[in-house]
Amino acid sequence: MNHLRIIPVTNEELVYSLCAVTEELLDAPLLPETICEDISNDFEYFLLSYDYTFAGFSKIIESDNLLHLDTIHIHEDFRGLKIFSSLLKNYVELCRLRKLSKIILTCDKQNRNAMDCFKHLGFQETHKDVSVSPSAIMELSI
């Protein structure tokens, strides 16, 4: 049984729910205005609910025939439950529906758990980006 629900943030109530989730997960929580501005600039947010409890969120944007996974945050209490792999399956299906060729993301190379998870799920490191911190650009072909 899949306990994960992926909820597109499409109305004001969900924007405020997302703000509450970011208060738990981020040092600087997102404001409703920021989320609404992102959405108006074609970003898509998704709340991740596991057993009817918000477990995290993700943010994507489509451009240049690619799906850019901009942000993924999963609350530490929900890690190890295969939430990201379930989310990734949904994003792969979304890419197929939208006829996108790849999922691309940037990962902090110092976050070994995330790097290992992405590699385990089929992402390949394509090049390094050191503009902000030691980061890797990773992609998954669809």
pLDDT computed for residue 133 by the predictor: 67
Phi then psi dihedrals of residue 87, to 5 deg:
-60, -45
pLDDT category of residue 85 using cuts at 50, 70 and 90: very high
- pLDDT per residue over 57-82, tens digit each? 999 999 999 999 999 999 999 999 99
pLDDT computed for residue 131 by the predictor: 63
pLDDT computed for residue 16 by the predictor: 98
Position 130 pLDDT exceeds 60: no
Position 97 pLDDT exceeds 80: yes
- Distance (Å, whole) CA 12 – CA 24: 19
CATH number for position 55: 3.40.630.30
pLDDT category of residue 112 using cuts at 50, 70 and 90: confident
Q: What is the pTM of this model?
A: 0.90
- Distance (Å, whole) CA 31 – CA 47: 15
Counted domains in the chain? 1
Assigned token pair, 20: 């509450």
Domain that residue 113 falls in: 4-141
pLDDT, mean of residues 83-99:
95
